[in-house]
Structure 1
Amino acid sequence: MSKVLMKGNEAIGEGAIRAGCRHFFGYPITPQSELPHYLAKRMPEVGGVFLQAESETSSINMVYGAAGAGFRTMTSSSSPGVSLMQEGISYLVGAELPCVVVNVMRGGPGLGNIAPAQSDYFQSVKGGGHGDYHMVVLAPASVQEIIDMMQVAFDLADKYRGPVMVLGDGILGQMMEPVELADEVTMPEMLAKPWAASGLKGREKTNVINSLYIVPEDCEELNKKLFAKYEIIAAEETRCEEYMLDDAEIVLTGFGTAARIAKSVVDKARAEGIKAGLIRPITLWPFPSEIYARAAENADKFLCVEMSMGQMIEDVKLAVNGKKPVHFYGRSGGMVPLAKDVLVQVKKLMAGGAE
């Protein structure tokens, strides 16, 4: 093992390569442009394919083609670029094609700015595209976790035959941290894909990849099949971090960068005698609702910390189910919450003050 200093966007690319991805299609957009730049160099070194498409719409449809042929493939973009991909993502879900989509979020709405944000939560976990569907959504909080999570993302995509989103933000994409990497890059063992449109290969008929169901009954059966799969994913693949929850009177919660800030606030609050804890969802979908419900049995209140106007808080409130009050502190449009300001909010809440 070697320890190296890596930028988050580069770690996404290296993690994808080590997870067996050999096909990348994308389009540059700040703050994730270092990722395609990195893969433009690395993919040829490992015998892979890098192609800069003319648009995000093109890149997601190229992913559809490569995934349909049975290859591990991915794309990446930032907020408005991922909006352009939504139709293609829905097609990938409907055709049950595994792939990884990376979103390094920026300020919005509209073109917004290139500063970090988390306001694509709804877009990511509530569908985003048309139709009834879910994607597994993974939210790393460190550069090392990015490296490790890319392997998880590709494995889950193949296991459940569908797109997986890795959701970060501009801070995670741009920050540099030391990471541990195996000295050699080896192709991991991957699932066979007998469904792929990859030629006859001894079959009597070629496979056909499609998401068009003209007969309504057939389309309904697809939805039933997908939602049966989602129940299994929710039961077996939910992930989160619990920090100092055992005696917590106030539970902070957030994902990605906001969770890092909230965790530092928990430490500061504990140093001042406030019993604070943290829940950090690692899978935003499936959401770790049971952890929140269990924490609500003992904690007095919750504080959701987000880099948005409040999106994840809806799922937190659903999970707590009215047992305890859920408060909010957030900054939006590319502004980042400061630990000192969140700590002030914690003190107000513990003193019985208003939000």
Structure 2
Amino acid sequence: MSKVLMKGNEAVGAAAIKAGCRYFFGYPITPSSEIPEYMSKALPEVGGVFLQAESEVAAINMVYGAGGAGARVMTGSSSPGISLKQEGITYAAGAEIPCVIVNMMRGGPGLGSIQPGQADYYQSTRGGGNGDYRTLCYAPASIQETVDYVMLAFDKADEYRNPVLVCADGMIGQMMEAVEFKENFNENLPAKDWATTGTKGKREKNIVNSLFLEAELCEDHNIRLEKKYKLMEENEVLYEAFGLEDADVVCVAYGTTSRIVKTAIKLAATKGIKVGIIRPITLWPYPYAIYKDINPNCKGILGVEMSQGQLIDDIKIGIEGRMPVYFHGRTGGMVPTPAGILAEIEKIAGGTK
């Protein structure tokens, strides 16, 4: 299978179409604007529909409608745009509507910066809307992974009848890499006999809704959803890890930041410092179990992130107090450097942190 050089945002659109997406509703925002630009041209060529909504709020509710009718549908945006979609995302989770939401994260808070960021971690993993709900969340570290996980996201959305997030930072959206597109259709996905496709007088009507006026019914619904989320925790955890068994220091990072960390690890090796890495690929469910494989004599865990340290909470849960946890990050659109990360690794390894 041949590879093609593509910009990250365009690869998102191509992967979605390859996965069977035929509807996109969105609104342009830097650094994700090439996603709707690509879809506006490519979707009509395959019989699909692109619509630039009047706002992000409108777009996510259009996604709710198309997903409720059983279609494969996607929206994409960047940080403040995703914030505006949160009400629709919790509605979709409550109504069990499969859909894919792509976030090319930028610096924040508020309108922030148009440069890359990772400060949407809390929003992505804890849910930015109301109520007890969860969404699978993939964090690719390359354009190839972005392609792969966008395609996988559609299958998982259908499998669990749930919104799925793909969270990358603006660097992935804007840079170019060679990618290939693999067949990913899962023929064993459940039939969408719940969808609002019209009865044609042959069956009872379907109702897609997240409103329960009786407390007992709402509680029953939440308990049933929680069982589904437990299945995700059991079956959908993804991560990359290496060098844990004899590490002097372990770094934890995701997305493009993890690539910068890997360069710092190589630099540390030239100085005789053994550094391992844990890279969560699913931000939720989080790979807590892998922390048990860390060398018990490790001098510390270093979280590296383009934020003020949102990843640190999950690191602390994973390590369960067995060793100290430190943080190094840049924020507002600034990007960590290998040299800066190496300096923090040296401090921890030398016991001077």
Q: Which amino acid aligns with 2:125?
A: V
Q: Which residue in 2 is equivalent to 1:337?
A: 336
SS in 1 for 2:231: helix
Q: Which amino acid aligns with 2:141?
A: A
Query: Which runs of 5 or more structure 2 residues have no equivalent in the other structure?
Result: none
SS in 2 for 1:252: strand
Describe how 1:297-308 pairs up with structure 2 within 5 A.
297=296, 299-308=298-307
Q: CA deviation at 1:270?
A: 1.5
Q: 1:149 to 1:202 in 2, by over 3 A?
A: farther
Q: Which amino acid aligns with 2:250?
A: V
Contact 2:244 2:295 in 1 (8 A): no
Describe how 1:144-163 pairs up with structure 2 within 5 A.
144-163=144-163
What whole-Å deviation, never above 9, does each CA across 1:69-104 have from its counterpart, x for those lacking one? 000101000000111000000000000000000110
Q: Which residue in 2 is equivalent to 1:72?
A: 72
SS in 2 for 1:329: strand
Contact 1:18 1:187 in 2 (8 A): no
Q: CA deviation at 1:349?
A: 1.0
SS in 1 for 2:266: helix
Describe how 1:41-80 pairs up with structure 2 within 5 A.
41-80=41-80
Contact 1:296 1:320 in 2 (8 A): no
Distance (Å, rounded) in 1 between the aligned partners of 2:202 and 2:287: 42
Distance (Å, rounded) in 2 between the aligned partners of 1:148 and 1:304: 25
Contact 1:78 1:105 in 2 (8 A): yes
Query: Which runs of 5 or more structure 1 residues have no equivalent in the other structure?
Result: none
What whole-Å deviation, never above 9, does each CA across 1:290-349 have from its counterpart, x for those lacking one? 012332645331100000000011111011110111110010111110111100110011
Identity of aligned residues (%): 55
Q: Which residue in 2 is equivalent to 1:104?
A: 104
Distance (Å, rounded) in 2 between the aligned partners of 1:296 and 1:212: 49
Describe how 1:1-355 pairs up with structure 2 within 5 A.
1-181=1-181, 189=187, 191-200=190-199, 203-295=202-294, 297=296, 299-354=298-353
What whole-Å deviation, never above 9, does each CA across 1:249-291 have from its counterpart, x for those lacking one? 2110111011111111112111221110110000000000001
Contact 1:238 1:287 in 2 (8 A): yes
Distance (Å, rounded) in 1 between the aligned partners of 2:181 and 2:308: 37
Distance (Å, rounded) in 2 between the aligned partners of 1:130 and 1:305: 29
Distance (Å, rounded) in 2 between the aligned partners of 1:69 and 1:149: 23
Distance (Å, rounded) in 2 between the aligned partners of 1:4 and 1:139: 22
Contact 2:76 2:101 in 1 (8 A): yes
Q: Which amino acid aligns with 1:54?
A: E
SS in 1 for 2:180: strand
SS in 2 for 1:228: helix
Contact 1:247 1:275 in 2 (8 A): yes
Q: Which amino acid aligns with 2:199?
A: L
Distance (Å, rounded) in 1 between the aligned partners of 2:64 and 2:284: 22
Distance (Å, rounded) in 2 between the aligned partners of 1:338 and 1:186: 35
What whole-Å deviation, never above 9, does each CA across 1:95-128 have from its counterpart, x for those lacking one? 0000000110111111111010000000110111
Q: Which amino acid aligns with 1:194?
A: D
Contact 2:254 2:281 in 1 (8 A): yes
Q: Which amino acid aligns with 1:313?
A: I
Contact 2:232 2:285 in 1 (8 A): yes
SS in 2 for 1:181: coil
Q: CA deviation at 1:151?
A: 1.5
SS in 1 for 2:339: helix
TM-score (norm 1): 0.96
Contact 1:293 1:321 in 2 (8 A): no
Distance (Å, rounded) in 1 between the aligned partners of 2:29 and 2:326: 34
What whole-Å deviation, never above 9, does each CA across 1:8-49 have from its counterpart, x for those lacking one? 111111111111111100000000001110111110111111
SS in 1 for 2:11: helix
After the TM superposition, which of the residue ranges 55-64 and 192-201 deviates more from structure 2?
A: 192-201
Distance (Å, rounded) in 2 between the aligned partners of 1:152 and 1:40: 22
Distance (Å, rounded) in 1 between the aligned partners of 2:246 and 2:61: 49
Contact 2:135 2:165 in 1 (8 A): yes
Q: Give the paired residue count.
A: 352
SS in 2 for 1:71: coil
What whole-Å deviation, never above 9, does each CA across 1:211-265 have from its counterpart, x for those lacking one? 0010111111111111111111101110000122232121101110111111111
Q: Which amino acid aligns with 2:148?
A: D
Q: 1:208 to 1:58 in 2, by over 3 A?
A: same
